[in-house]
């Protein structure tokens, strides 16, 4: 990444901000007049030439103006963007919406997706939380008749699973109670692999039940995330975007609709394909792009050289939830021409809010695995 002078950084920042607001090439004269810069248009043109040589801006066709490149957006995001918080009134409104929602995970997910799409005027994505590692807490075995036993399995975090077992040989309640006591001693806090390994050295009944417990934990671990998204209209329909701006002049509206369509068309298509047609790639990106830590924000612009299918797309992602127990992913995505400061602050705030709410009710028996 080529280093820039403070003045060059200022010019790059203004070009990005201007182009994000109205996707038309930005000229040196436009910057000097609009921002009352204390240096001349000639100086701005010289610095724009340096920015273009460094690969941070480009001249579309024969236009006298310049537009940011993917490298320019990355420089802006990583070095120039200021830490922004959502306005307090907006935070209060969002928080109130969440607290008015019933404790059903799918309602949370849909609300989070809607809030982010509306706040950032882009598309959004939310995945349901899944257990980081499903672990054994306690087991009860209740003999019903002959070879049939009801297994009641409690997982760490409060989830409860019940399953009827058909054992190899008839048993008594005394025998299954002794087996349950032994299993509880061996398996407390254990994951599927540990339990399966310990079972090899036990009596036949204990071994048989422990294998069934391990299989159940494996199935719980393999539960797929729900993926919910919202806001596609924000990126697919420029008329919808212009209508929200309430521009009265017909000519200005027409010019802006045309400019938005040209600037964002490929990024919008790539976003739509990612969400609707290529779930495998989406899940791979979510797995690769995020660290296990909750609360950090990861920004991927134009595929970062790895995902060619996302060459015109930006993803701003964060993991929410309770470290070591259950986590999910939220994010904003769309064309690279994005209001980055607002999008980042929205993702960060909603991620923190969802983590807090999940933590508040986790101890009350909340079970993300049992949610729809």
d(CA 301, CA 293): 21
pLDDT surpassing 90 at residue 122: yes
> In DSSP terms, which residues pair with 334 in a beta bridge?
314
The radius of gyration of the chain's CA atoms, rounded to the nearest angstrom, is 27
CATH code of the domain covering residue 33: 1.10.10.10
Residue 288 is assigned to a structural domain of this protein: yes
Token pair, residue 365, equals 């028996």
pLDDT given at position 131? 67
Q: Are residues 206 and 147 in the same domain?
A: yes
- Given 186, 204, 221, the domain boundary residue is 221
Q: Is residue 21 very low, low, confident or very high in pLDDT (cuts 50, 70, 90)?
A: confident
Q: Is residue 335 very low, low, confident or very high in pLDDT (cuts 50, 70, 90)?
A: very high
Q: What is residue 48's DSSP assignment?
A: H
Q: Are residues 60 and 94 in the same domain?
A: no
Query: Which residue reads 């009352």 in tokens?
Result: 36
Contact between 34 and 21 (Cβ < 8 Å): no
Q: What is residue 168's DSSP assignment?
A: S
Residue 247 is assigned to a structural domain of this protein: yes
Beta strand residue intervals within 78-205, DSSP E: 123-127, 130-131, 136-145, 148-155, 160-166
Q: Torsions phi, psi of 149, nearest 5?
A: -135, 135
Residue 110 is assigned to a structural domain of this protein: yes
CATH code of the domain covering residue 250: 3.30.450.40
pTM score: 0.74
Domain count, the chain: 3
Token pair, residue 34, equals 């609009």
Q: Give residue-wise pLDDT tens across range 198-215.
A: 898 899 899 999 999 988
- Given 198, 221, 244, the domain boundary residue is 221
Q: Are residues 257 and 297 in the same domain?
A: yes
pLDDT surpassing 50 at residue 372: no
Can you say whether the dihedral through the CA atoms of 204, 206, 208, 211 is positive or negative? negative
* Average pLDDT over every residue of 33-41: 89
Q: Are residues 356 and 231 in the same domain?
A: yes
Residue 1 is assigned to a structural domain of this protein: no
pLDDT surpassing 90 at residue 11: yes
Q: Are residues 114 and 240 in the same domain?
A: yes
pLDDT surpassing 80 at residue 15: yes
d(CA 203, CA 56): 69
d(CA 178, CA 127): 41
Residue 14 is assigned to a structural domain of this protein: yes
Q: Are residues 208 and 232 in the same domain?
A: no
Q: Is residue 371 very low, low, confident or very high in pLDDT (cuts 50, 70, 90)?
A: very low
Q: Are residues 332 and 265 in the same domain?
A: yes
* CA angle centred on 330, ends 127 and 341, rounded to 5°: 165
Residue 344 is assigned to a structural domain of this protein: yes
Q: Are residues 40 and 103 in the same domain?
A: no
Q: Determine how β-strand 227-230 pairs with β-strand 123-127.
A: antiparallel
Mean pLDDT of the chain: 85
Residue 212 is assigned to a structural domain of this protein: yes
Q: How much of the chain exceeds pLDDT 70, in percent?
A: 90
Q: Are residues 295 and 149 in the same domain?
A: no
Residue 298 is assigned to a structural domain of this protein: yes
Q: Are residues 27 and 152 in the same domain?
A: no
d(CA 263, CA 22): 10
Q: Are residues 236 and 343 in the same domain?
A: yes
d(CA 322, CA 357): 10
pLDDT surpassing 50 at residue 368: no
> 67 lies in which domain range?
6-80
d(CA 202, CA 220): 24
pLDDT given at position 307? 87
pLDDT given at position 286? 82
All residues at 6 or more sequence positions from 84 whose CB lies less than 8 Å from its CB, including other chains: 341, 342, 344, 345
Q: Are residues 39 and 102 in the same domain?
A: no
Question: If you count DSSP H runs as helices and E runs as strands, how many of each does the chain have, helices first?
Answer: 14, 11
CATH code of the domain covering residue 162: 3.30.390
d(CA 124, CA 145): 52
- Given 42, 63, 80, the domain boundary residue is 80
């Amino acid at each position: 990444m080529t280093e820039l002078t403070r003045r060059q950084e200022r010019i790059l920042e203004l070009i990005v901000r201007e182009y994000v607001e109205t996707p038309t090439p930005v000229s040196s004269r436009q910057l000097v007049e609009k921002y009352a810069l204390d240096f001349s248009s000639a100086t701005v043109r010289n610095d724009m030439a340096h920015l273009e040589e460094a690969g941070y801006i480009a001249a579309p066709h024969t236009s006298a103006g310049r537009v940011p490149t993917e490298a320019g957006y990355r420089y802006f995001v990583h070095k120039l963007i200021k830490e922004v918080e959502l306005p307090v009134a907006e935070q209060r409104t969002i928080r109130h919406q969440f607290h008015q929602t019933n404790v059903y995970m799918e309602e949370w997910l849909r609300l989070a997706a809607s809030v982010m799409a509306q706040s950032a005027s882009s598309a959004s994505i939310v995945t349901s939380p899944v257990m980081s590692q499903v672990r054994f807490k306690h087991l009860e075995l209740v003999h019903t008749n002959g070879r049939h036993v009801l297994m009641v399995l409690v997982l760490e975090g409060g989830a409860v699973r019940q399953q009827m077992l058909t054992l190899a040989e008839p048993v008594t309640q005394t025998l299954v109670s002794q087996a349950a006591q032994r299993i509880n001693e061996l398996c407390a806090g254990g994951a599927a692999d540990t339990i399966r390994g310990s079972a090899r050295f036990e009596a036949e009944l204990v071994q048989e039940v422990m294998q069934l417990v391990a299989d159940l934990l494996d199935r719980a671990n393999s539960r797929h995330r729900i993926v919910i998204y919202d806001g596609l209209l924000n990126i697919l329909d420029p008329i919808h975007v212009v209508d929200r701006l309430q521009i009265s002049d017909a000519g200005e509206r027409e010019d802006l609709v045309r400019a938005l369509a040209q600037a964002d068309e490929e990024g919008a298509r790539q976003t739509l394909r990612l969400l609707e047609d290529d779930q495998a790639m989406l899940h791979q990106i979510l797995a690769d792009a995020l660290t296990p830590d909750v609360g950090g924000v990861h920004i991927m612009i134009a595929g970062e050289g790895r995902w060619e299918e996302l060459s015109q797309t930006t993803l701003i992602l964060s993991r929410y939830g309770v470290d070591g127990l259950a986590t999910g992913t939220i994010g904003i995505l769309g064309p690279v021409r994005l209001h980055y400061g607002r999008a980042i602050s929205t993702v960060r705030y909603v991620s923190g809010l969802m983590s807090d709410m999940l933590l508040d009710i986790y101890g009350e028996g909340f079970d993300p695995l049992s949610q729809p």
